[in-house]
Amino acid sequence: MSGSRITNCHIHLFTAQHVPRNFPFAWTRVFRKDPSLILGLSWLARIAGRDEWADKLHRLYQFQQQGALPDEASVFADVAAHYPRNTRFIALPMDMRCIGHGEVPVSLREQHDALARLRSTRQARGAVIPFATVNPLVPGSVEECKRALTDLRFAGLKIYPRMGFAPDHPDLMEEIYPLVSDLNLPVMTHCSRGGVQGKRICNYRGDAFTRPKAYLPVLRRFPQMRICLAHFGGQDDWVDYAAAQPTRGNENWMVQIREMIGSGEFPNLWTDISYTMFHFQDLAPILKLILTGGSLEARRLRSRVLFGSDFYMTRQEELSERAVCIRLREKLGEELFWQLAETGPEVWLGERDEDKSLWTLQG
């Protein structure tokens, strides 16, 4: 067993400068201007005996404070402190302009440039792996994404269709994916019902853009491109799976992803466990169950799940990064943990070859 270097495939280093002014609601601007109001509310909830609300508000405050840090380097220092010194982190930007939540102080170009600068600092050298992003709703975004992939030599692509575009949007199909495939780079995409949604996008449309099956046209046109559906479908779908109850639209995205990978039809389809595993106690046993066993489906799935956390979104949760990572290692055992945290990420990033026999065998 190697077990020497974790790659956290999913973190965010943005600050309040990257978020639209009115996100998630216009009235939340009040809290951004004066975060101590949240603490005040938390205190009121505590004396009213509403401990659960008080805890939630306190975590919201932590989250807010994390976003209030001056720059990416400070956010990075916070996440790095939770992991062994040699850990690598894939930093995923987001372009939240033109989604109906107001202006974003920092442009995508500035965001990409800041990640490129961070990558070359002594503190982050070798540890920060920046991805480029694109939002086809924003004029000029496609060109900027291409610049980050070619001139800045970023290591992959991140997209976020829930903001309001389909994963097979023509700009992506004609301009971006062909370039990503030529460069042999991986793609990360947000695949859960939570997160950021365009203001005019109803849940029904948001789900239509996000569901695993929305990627079928992409998987068929670019079968060699390594696509990771982040969050393994998301906490809602995992919780509903555990309760044996139907999820919105009557499809469970965790099950969909598991079937799509298990079928062997899409050898370059991946998923990650970021954010979802922060509901550790309820959901980690399910993860362990579906990843173990000798069936061809389970073995395929095992080789296609990546470790990621979704820092600093996870500051809204009770457990810390370190707590989740250690619990995960204990729960999955050494071999499986290092598959998710080291071998898988290296294959997905295109750094390591793998034995392809799992994908040629018949189940």
Per CB under 5 A, residues contacting Zn ion are: 310
**Considering beta carbons, is residue 42 or 274 the nearer one to Zn ion?**
274
**Considering beta carbons, is residue 95 or 310 the nearer one to Zn ion?**
310
We find the least distance from the C-beta atom of residue 90 to Zn ion, in angstroms, to be 10
We find the least distance from the C-beta atom of residue 89 to Zn ion, in angstroms, to be 12
**Considering beta carbons, is residue 207 or 310 the nearer one to Zn ion?**
310
We find the least distance from the C-beta atom of residue 311 to Zn ion, in angstroms, to be 9
The closest residue (CB) to Zn ion is 310
- Between CA 306 and CA 228 the distance in angstroms is 8
We find the least distance from the C-beta atom of residue 297 to Zn ion, in angstroms, to be 27
**Considering beta carbons, is residue 194 or 264 the nearer one to Zn ion?**
194
We find the least distance from the C-beta atom of residue 176 to Zn ion, in angstroms, to be 19
**Considering beta carbons, is residue 94 or 287 the nearer one to Zn ion?**
94
**Considering beta carbons, is residue 262 or 345 the nearer one to Zn ion?**
345
We find the least distance from the C-beta atom of residue 45 to Zn ion, in angstroms, to be 28
